[in-house]
């Protein structure tokens, strides 16, 4: 049966009026949070405090508290860094790449995913700053004229990281904020100047909205700006994890020195990012009654992205082994056999089962649309992706060229405290975000709701373009 | 009402179709200074209003090129000109290694500057004092309605005609919008006391923060136990040991690494009888002996051992090394003299190691042989 492709399928369930959309999305900002919210934020801030304490100890006593030593000099700090940067990638993919592909289903989740990007990159950015052990020297990461006539080494992948992550954060932040401007204006105009609280709120929203007037002369520039930013963010997001993978691939450690790393890392990043967005959205849509905006169809589409990227990652795992064998290089072959069957075999098989095997359940439509099931799978995917970074970093280092210096890396309690703290940091920011800003783009959702665009537009859009353009 | 200045006339429309039609009609009527306000971008509105394509894309292109150039120049200047580093013998202008940072700076500058250009140049934002702000009209178009405004500044503007025109198009709530008199009449001069006080407070704060950052914060030692460790240095007085010296004398009979004790200090006879030169007669040993001889011996003994000092009589001249007496002394005898000294010649034990003394002796022998060559030497 031929499907009518000239009509866009509505991504919003039912037919809410524009006022109802305002009310639904702005509701969390209008009400006092309930006890559940306080329990949740109490939990996340506890995690955060564990992290703060571990961090304070690491600064006070030195990074010797961590499990890193010869030969495994890269431990949890870089694992967590790569993990969190990867989480961020889903946001930009949803907001920029899916925007360029005109995927309307992204509207319901784009804002939230962008917010997650920012918080994830902030979390990730902590680790490079922490791992130097003397945080007051972090300023030298950025090139600036100084008395020591000291410049950074622009040929080092670690410095490329500094530029990639800071650019990524800035551009994501600008993208996110520009999306928020019309929504702040809507929130500003809903408030009545009756109480002190609403006056304060109004002032804040007025400042943040920059004085947005919903003028179509502005929308015209605004849409062009959005297109340009999406066009920049797309190669940017691919470059960021490519550069992160260069940290490994540019070195000559067996198991790291492979050309498959950039695409493999990017696929893995999108994979874990989607799983994290999935997890958080399932909770958010339930708590804030937004099931009709973040629909089951959207979640199903995300599951499809998860299975695709999961298989890309699985392909990379297989291809690494093939190339190791095909190269005929003794050390390279050993590195991969050691990965799968060496002392870290437990970590390797956790990774493979979580990343490649479990997502295969999503081939079954019933499971793909089963919310508790997809929640569990998404958590497992994140576990798997964390272990992927662990496996890559630790197995290659723990058994390198010199057998006499082989050692088994064990993280200490301070390493684990920092990992827990990073989750606390991320989720605390996320919870505050849900209470202070619209987690779903009001203007974008309005523009895709049924009946929001001119009827004539649907029928004779292209002819009209030719006449007027 | 009379003394208020008219900004525009507004009308509300209820469906996207209506607003598109209204925009087209307004354009057709010949109004130039008008605007359409919608809570979200309505498709086809740019064509209906006959707006030109936004030139922001060109901004982004130019700024991107600028970013790429500046990024490359920065790296070229720091890595190639100002402080070239030799990293594994690689070139000081490695273009492939510069590509990632160039790309990032391009994207950073292009995207941030495009947004700033849009906000500041195209929108003239932030601006929270536009006459439309805080009106009933704005509250509606920011939520669920669509609106048209025709500004009083338009050359074709006529209040009654415009009102009738908008009502005819199907617009409801046709209302005039006025400038806020307080806004217009408010005089903001540079010498306003409030402004000056604010400026002064900000200046003081900036100065204080800058001073604190540059003079205190930068020199803060968060933890100084690596810098100031509990230890005593070699020449310090200490109460830890009874004799007050921080440096400990070695245990009796300790011998330094590579040092052989000299047991013949008191007897030149024993030395000349038992000591044998352990050094080979090789070029390397002679070269080293020559160097040490020229440094330590030649000031008095002369470069050739003639006993003609370069000291201009400030120290008594030694006898020549080429006399029969000296030539017949054994190596052990010479070694003893170098080690403990003889007559006015002091000990050279501290200046020369044991091996070097033997090398000097080899060289002295060579000098003696040179002045008293025998026929066999020529072979």
Q: Where are the domains of chain A?
A: 29-135+234-449
Q: How far apart are CA B26 and CA A402, in angstroms?
A: 80
Contact A160 B123 (CB under 8 A): no
Q: Do residues A431 and A3 lie in contact, with contact meaning Cβ atoms separated by under 8 Å?
A: no
Instruction: Please name every residue paired with B342 in a beta bridge, in sequence order, or none if there are none.
Output: B345
Contact B41 A447 (CB under 8 A): yes
Q: Do residues A131 and A51 lie in contact, with contact meaning Cβ atoms separated by under 8 Å?
A: no
Region A78-84: what's the mean pLDDT?
Answer: 95
Please give the pLDDT value at position B378. 66
Region A89-95: what's the mean pLDDT?
Answer: 86
- Per-residue pLDDT tens over the stretch B142-168: 888 999 999 988 888 888 899 999 999
Q: A94-108, A241-255, A429-443, B268-282: lowest mean pLDDT where?
A: B268-282
Q: Tell me which residue has tokens 């492979």.
A: A258
CA distances from B252 to A249, B248, B256, B265 (A): 59, 12, 12, 19
Q: Which among A207, A225, A468 is the nearest to B47, CB-wise?
A: A468
User: For the residues of B178-214, what is the DSSP string, one character each?
Assistant: E--HHHHH----TT-HHHHHHHHHHHHHHHHHHHIII
A221 contacts in B (CB within 8 Å)?
Answer: 54, 56, 118, 122-123
pLDDT bucket at A469, cuts 50 / 70 / 90: very low
pLDDT bucket at A49, cuts 50 / 70 / 90: very high
pLDDT bucket at A45, cuts 50 / 70 / 90: very high
Contact B47 A163 (CB under 8 A): no
pLDDT bucket at A146, cuts 50 / 70 / 90: confident
Q: Do residues A293 and A324 lie in contact, with contact meaning Cβ atoms separated by under 8 Å?
A: no
Please give the pLDDT value at position A459. 44
Region B111-124: what's the mean pLDDT?
Answer: 92
Give the best residue of A224, A227, A442, A459 to mutate against chain B (max B CB count within 10 A).
A224
SS3 A370: coil
Q: Which CATH class is domain B268-378?
A: mainly alpha
- The residues near A290 (Cβ < 8 Å, ≥ 6 apart) are A24, A25, A108, A284, A440
Instruction: Please name every residue paired with A17 in a beta bridge, in sequence order, or none if there are none.
Output: none
CA distances from B238 to A262, B146, B225, B226, B229 (A): 61, 88, 21, 21, 16
User: For the residues of B134-166, what is the DSSP string, one character each?
Assistant: TSHHHHHHTTT-EEEEEETTSTT--HHHHHHHH
Looking at the predicted structure, is the pLDDT value of residue A111 above 70?
yes
B139 contacts in A (CB within 8 Å)?
Answer: 189-190
Q: How far apart are CA B77 and CA B82, in angstroms?
A: 6
Q: How far is A150 from chain B (nearest CA, A)?
A: 8
Does the CA dihedral A164-A166-A171-A173 come out positive or negative? positive
Please give the pLDDT value at position A305. 92
Which helix (H) or strand (E) element contains residue A386? helix A371-390
Please give the pLDDT value at position A462. 45
Asked if A17 reaches chain B (Cβ–Cβ under 8 Å), the answer is yes
**To the nearest whole number, what is the mean pLDDT of chain A?**
88
Q: How far is B220 from chain A (nearest CA, A)?
A: 9
User: For the residues of A295-315, what is the DSSP string, one character each?
Assistant: -HHHHHHHHHHHHHHHHHHHH
Give the best residue of A15, A18, A155, A222 to mutate against chain B (max B CB count within 10 A).
A155
- The residues near A251 (Cβ < 8 Å, ≥ 6 apart) are A257
Q: How far is B68 from chain A (nearest CA, A)?
A: 13
Q: Tell me which residue has tokens 């095909």.
A: A326
Region B80-104: what's the mean pLDDT?
Answer: 90
Q: Which among A206, A228, A465 is the nearest to B47, CB-wise?
A: A465
A62-76, A172-186, B144-158: which is most confident: A172-186
Q: How far apart are CA B187 and CA A212, in angstroms?
A: 25
Which helix (H) or strand (E) element contains residue B176? strand B172-178
Asked if A457 reaches chain B (Cβ–Cβ under 8 Å), the answer is yes
B186: exposed, middle or buried (Cβ count in 10 Å: 0-12, 13-18, 19+): exposed
175-214 of A, contacting B, C-beta below 8 A: 175, 178, 182, 185-186, 188-190, 206-207, 210-214
**To the nearest whole number, what is the mean pLDDT of chain B?**
87
Q: Which among B39, B75, B223 is the nearest to A186, CB-wise?
A: B39
Higher pLDDT, A359 or B234: A359
Q: How far is A69 from chain B (nearest CA, A)?
A: 20
- Provide the CB-side half-sphere exposure for A15 (13 A, CA): 4
Looking at the predicted structure, is the pLDDT value of residue B220 above 80?
no
- Provide the CB-side half-sphere exposure for A173 (13 A, CA): 12
Q: Do residues A354 and A379 lie in contact, with contact meaning Cβ atoms separated by under 8 Å?
A: no
Q: Which among B36, B101, B129 is the nearest to A160, CB-wise?
A: B101
Helix ranges restricted to H, chain B: 16-29, 45-48, 56-76, 95-117, 136-141, 159-168, 181-185, 193-211, 268-274, 283-292, 298-301, 324-328, 331-340, 354-371
pLDDT bucket at A243, cuts 50 / 70 / 90: very high
Looking at the predicted structure, is the pLDDT value of residue A463 above 90?
no
Q: Which among A143, A155, A444 is the nearest to B74, CB-wise?
A: A143
Which helix (H) or strand (E) element contains residue B174? strand B172-178
Q: How far apart are CA A91 and CA A106, in angstroms?
A: 10
Nearest CA in chain A to B131: A213
B17 contacts in A (CB within 8 Å)?
Answer: 454-456
Q: Which among B51, B107, B128 is the nearest to A220, CB-wise?
A: B51
Contact B39 A446 (CB under 8 A): yes
Give the best residue of B26, B52, B54 to mutate against chain A (max A CB count within 10 A).
B54
Contact A212 B127 (CB under 8 A): no
- The residues near A275 (Cβ < 8 Å, ≥ 6 apart) are A306, A377, A378, A379, A381, A382, A385
Q: How far is B234 from chain A (nearest CA, A)?
A: 29
Of B338, B329, B350, the closest CA to residue B293 belongs to B338
Asked if A446 reaches chain B (Cβ–Cβ under 8 Å), the answer is yes
Q: Which among B60, B97, B127 is the nearest to A228, CB-wise?
A: B60
Helix ranges restricted to H, A191-295: 196-209, 216-249, 261-287
Q: A200-204, A280-284, B1-5, B338-342: lowest mean pLDDT where?
A: B1-5
Of B136, B149, B187, the closest CA to residue B7 belongs to B149
Higher pLDDT, B341 or B375: B341
Q: Which among B16, B47, B142 is the nearest to A452, CB-wise?
A: B16
- Per-residue pLDDT tens over the stretch B41-74: 998 899 999 999 889 999 899 999 999 999 999 9
Letter string b/e over residues A428-452, b meaning 16 or more CB atoms within 10 A of that residue's CB: bbbbebbeebbbbbbbbbbbbbeeb
- The residues near A46 (Cβ < 8 Å, ≥ 6 apart) are A424
- Per-residue pLDDT tens over the stretch A363-389: 999 999 999 999 999 999 999 999 999
* Pairing of the two strands B6-13 and B146-151: antiparallel
Task: For CATH 1.10.760.10, list the domain ranges present in chain B.
Answer: 268-378
Looking at the predicted structure, is the pLDDT value of residue A354 above 90?
yes
Asked if A43 reaches chain B (Cβ–Cβ under 8 Å), the answer is no
Q: How far apart are CA B223 and CA A60, in angstroms?
A: 7
Q: How far apart are CA B33 and CA B156, in angstroms?
A: 9
Q: How far apart are CA A393 and CA A71, in angstroms?
A: 11
Cβ atoms within 10 Å, residue A300: 15
Please give the pLDDT value at position A116. 93
pLDDT bucket at A461, cuts 50 / 70 / 90: very low
Strands of B172-178's sheet, edge to edge?
B34-37, B146-151, B6-13, B172-178
Looking at the predicted structure, is the pLDDT value of residue A465 above 50?
no
Q: A188-197, B150-159, B163-172, B182-191: lowest mean pLDDT where?
A: B182-191
Looking at the predicted structure, is the pLDDT value of residue A165 above 50?
yes
Of A245, A88, A101, the closest CA to residue A161 belongs to A245
Number of A–B residue contacts, CB under 8 Å: 216
Q: How far apart are CA A392 and CA A368, in angstroms?
A: 30
* Pairing of the two strands B172-178 and B6-13: antiparallel
Nearest CA in chain B to A170: B108
User: For the residues of A99-138, what is the DSSP string, one character each?
Assistant: HHTT-GGGHHHHHHHHHHHHHHHHHHHHHHHHHTS-GGGG
Task: Please give the structure tokens belonging to residue B178.
Answer: 């006025």
Q: Do residues A257 and B92 lie in contact, with contact meaning Cβ atoms separated by under 8 Å?
A: no
A244-248, B320-324, B351-355: which is most confident: A244-248
Contact A154 B79 (CB under 8 A): yes
Region A101-115: what's the mean pLDDT?
Answer: 88
Contact A216 B130 (CB under 8 A): no
Contact B104 A452 (CB under 8 A): no
Contact B122 A216 (CB under 8 A): no
Contact B45 A217 (CB under 8 A): no
B47 contacts in A (CB within 8 Å)?
Answer: 464-465, 467-469
120-159 of A, contacting B, C-beta below 8 A: 136, 143, 149, 151-155, 157, 159
A141-150, A189-198, B108-117, B176-185: which is most confident: B108-117
Please give the pLDDT value at position A249. 93
Q: Do residues B19 and A214 lie in contact, with contact meaning Cβ atoms separated by under 8 Å?
A: no
Q: How far is A355 from chain B (nearest CA, A)?
A: 29
Task: Please give the structure tokens belonging to residue A191.
Answer: 């408030």
């Amino acid at each position: 049966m031929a499907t009518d492709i000239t009509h866009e399928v509505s991504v919003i369930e039912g037919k809410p009026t524009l006022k109802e959309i305002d009310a639904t999305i702005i509701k969390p900002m209008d009400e006092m949070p309930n006890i559940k919210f306080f329990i949740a934020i109490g939990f996340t801030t506890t995690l955060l405090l564990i992290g703060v304490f571990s961090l304070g100890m690491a600064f006070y006593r030195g990074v010797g508290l961590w499990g890193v030593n010869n030969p495994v000099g890269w431990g949890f700090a870089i694992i967590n860094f790569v993990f969190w940067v990867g989480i961020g990638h889903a946001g930009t993919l949803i907001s920029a790449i899916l925007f360029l592909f005109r995927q309307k289903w992204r509207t319901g989740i784009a804002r939230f995913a962008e917010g997650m990007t920012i918080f994830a990159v902030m979390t990730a950015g902590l680790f490079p700053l922490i791992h130097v052990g003397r945080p007051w020297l972090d300023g030298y990461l950025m090139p600036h004229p100084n008395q020591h006539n000291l410049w950074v080494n622009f040929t080092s992948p670690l410095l490329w990281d500094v530029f990639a992550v800071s650019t990524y954060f800035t551009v994501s932040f600008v993208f996110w904020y520009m999306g928020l401007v019309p929504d702040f204006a809507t929130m500003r105009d809903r408030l009545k100047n009756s109480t002190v609280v609403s006056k304060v709120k109004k002032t804040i929203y007025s400042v943040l909205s920059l004085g947005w007037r919903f003028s179509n002369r502005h929308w015209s520039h605004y849409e062009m700006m959005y297109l340009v930013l999406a066009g920049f963010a797309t190669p940017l997001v691919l470059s960021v994890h490519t550069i992160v993978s260069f940290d490994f691939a540019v070195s000559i450690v067996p198991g790291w020195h492979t050309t498959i790393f950039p695409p493999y890392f990017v696929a893995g990043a999108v994979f874990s990012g989607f799983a994290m967005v999935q997890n958080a959205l399932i909770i958010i849509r339930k708590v804030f009654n937004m099931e009709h905006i973040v629909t089951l169809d959207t979640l199903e589409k995300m599951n499809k992205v998860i299975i695709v990227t999961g298989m890309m990652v699985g392909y990379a795992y297989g291809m690494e082994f093939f190339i190791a064998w095909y190269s005929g290089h003794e050390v390279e072959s050993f590195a991969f056999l050691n990965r799968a069957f060496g002392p870290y075999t437990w970590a390797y098989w956790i990774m493979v089962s979580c990343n490649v095997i479990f997502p295969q359940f999503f081939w079954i439509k019933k499971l793909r649309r089963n919310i508790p099931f997809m929640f569990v799978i998404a958590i497992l995917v994140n576990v798997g992706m964390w272990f992927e970074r662990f496996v890559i970093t630790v197995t290659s280092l723990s058994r390198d060229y010199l057998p006499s210096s082989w050692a088994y890396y064990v993280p200490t309690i301070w390493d684990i405290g920092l990992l827990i703290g990073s989750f606390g940091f991320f989720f605390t920011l996320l919870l505050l975000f849900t209470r202070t800003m619209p987690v779903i783009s009001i203007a974008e959702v309005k523009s895709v709701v049924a009946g929001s665009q001119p009827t004539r537009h649907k029928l004779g859009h292209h002819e009209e373009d030719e006449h007027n353009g | 009402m009379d003394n208020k200045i008219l900004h525009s006339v507004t009308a509300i429309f209820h469906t996207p179709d209506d607003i598109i039609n209204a925009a087209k009609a307004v354009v057709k009527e010949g109004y130039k200074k008008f605007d359409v306000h919608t809570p979200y971008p309505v498709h086809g509105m740019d064509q209906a209003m006959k707006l030109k394509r936004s030139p922001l894309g060109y901004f982004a292109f130019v700024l991107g090129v600028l970013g790429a150039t500046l990024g490359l120049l920065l790296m070229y200047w720091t890595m190639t000109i100002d402080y070239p580093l030799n990293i594994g013998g690689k070139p000081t202008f490695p273009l492939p290694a510069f590509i990632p940072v160039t790309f990032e700076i391009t994207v950073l500058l292009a995207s941030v500057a495009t947004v700033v250009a849009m906000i500041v140049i195209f929108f003239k934002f932030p601006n929270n004092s536009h006459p439309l702000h805080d009106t009933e009209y704005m509250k509606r178009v920011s939520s669920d309605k669509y609106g048209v405004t025709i500004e009083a500044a338009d050359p074709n503007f006529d209040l009654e005609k415009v009102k009738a025109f908008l009502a005819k198009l199907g617009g409801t709530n046709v209302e005039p919008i006025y400038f806020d008199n307080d806004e217009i009449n408010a005089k903001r001069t540079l010498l306003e006391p409030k402004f000056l006080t604010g400026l002064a407070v900000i200046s003081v704060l900036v100065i204080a923060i800058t001073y604190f950052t540059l003079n205190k914060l930068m020199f803060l030692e968060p933890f100084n136990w690596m810098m100031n460790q509990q230890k005593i240095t070699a020449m310090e007085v200490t109460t830890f040991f009874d004799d007050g010296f921080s440096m400990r004398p070695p245990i009796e009979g300790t011998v330094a690494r590579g040092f052989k004790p000299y047991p013949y200090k008191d007897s030149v006879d024993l030395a000349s009888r038992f000591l044998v030169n352990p050094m080979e007669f090789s070029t390397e040993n002679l070269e080293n002996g020559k160097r040490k001889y020229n440094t330590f011996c030649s000031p008095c003994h002369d470069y050739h051992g003639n006993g003609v000092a370069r000291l201009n009589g400030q120290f008594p001249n030694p006898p020549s090394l080429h006399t029969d007496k000296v030539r017949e002394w054994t190596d052990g005898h010479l070694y003893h003299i170098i080690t403990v000294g003889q007559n006015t010649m002091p000990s050279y034990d501290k200046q020369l190691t044991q091996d070097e003394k033997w090398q000097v002796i080899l060289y002295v022998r060579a000098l003696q042989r040179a002045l008293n060559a025998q026929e066999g030497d020529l072979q």
